Structure formats: structure tokens, C-alpha cells
Amino acid sequence: MTLYEWVCRECDTFWDRDCPMGKAPKRTKCPVCKKLCGRYYENANVGVSFKDDGQGNGGKGASDFYTVRRRYQKHIEKGFDKDSANRFLRKNIEATKKAMNDESYRYKPVDINYEKFASEGKAKKLSSSQIATKVESAKKLTQDAYDRANKLGYRDAQGNKLDISKPLKQQ
């Protein structure tokens, strides 16, 4: 059995299910809106390595897709044991550091369909006075947060009091 994924572009729903390899339908009904939807192929080209089965035993355990996927499903449901959790944490810390240093990854373009959000009632256009009110409110909240941090004794990397007019760069 293989895990196949589908996506409904109408209601932004993703779902998956097990089907025999090569027997999954290309289109199926969305479980939410019941419209006919296509398969989701963006995760289909995931790199696979048979050297490690996810248990850190150098590939000495089962490494077929189904067994490894079931093992990870068990981790999702019941949590990791200590060694697996440490391997998972180290692996994700390294991936995060790599992603943070990749300049092309940081500013990925996003195409937002504002008209769709507005038609569904999820967004609305603000007037210039509403925008100004929200900006002032955000400034006040930020100033309050800086004031509370200074009262609690927080300092910047150089040991100075926090100053809202001097934003800190991430290290």
C-alpha cells in the first residue's frame, strides 16, 4: 500500500489515503465540499534514502516505505523515544540553520488571491483612517512590550536597555 494525497482547490483541503501502488484514482471527491478534485503531486518526488530507516541503526532495520511510514505514524500518535527524539531534533536544527543561511529561500514570492478572500468574507479592504488606527495601535503595543521588558531588566546583546527606535538584527 502507498500513501497518495489529494487537494481541493475550492475549499483548500488536503487529505491522503492508502491505495495499492498504481491503483489510486487521479480524481476523487473532496471530503469537505464533495467536489471532484485532483491528486496532489508536489510531495511525490520526495528523496528517499535506504541507508537509514529513521531509527539510527545504519539501515539494519526495515526500510520499505510502508514500514517506515507506519513507524513515523506511531511516533506522531505516541511520541518519540529519547534517542529518536534527539535524532529528530538534531536533524531539524541542522535543516533550520541551512534554511536560514540560504538567501534564495528567505524571500519566496507568495501569490495571494485577495479577491477570493474578500468574496468569502475572510478579508476586507480597510479605509486609510482604519489603517492609521491599526498602525498606531501596533506602535503602542510594541512600545508597551519594550517598556515591560525594560522593567523586567531585559537587555540587548550589547547589554544596553531595549530601545524601540533601534530594532535588533537577528543573530
pTM score over 0.85: no
pLDDT greater than 50 at residue 29: yes
For residues 89 and 68, what is the distance between their CA atoms, to the nearest angstrom? 18
Confidence of residue 171 (pLDDT cuts 50, 70, 90): very low
Higher pLDDT, 46 or 83: 83
**Which CA distances in Å does 86 have to 28, 57, 62, 111?**
39, 14, 21, 37
Higher pLDDT, 70 or 52: 70
pLDDT tens, 82-139?
887 888 889 989 988 887 777 766 666 778 888 888 889 888 888 899 999 999 999 9
pLDDT greater than 70 at residue 47: no
Confidence of residue 53 (pLDDT cuts 50, 70, 90): very low
3-state secondary structure of 29: strand
Under 8 Å between Cβ of 101 and 92: no
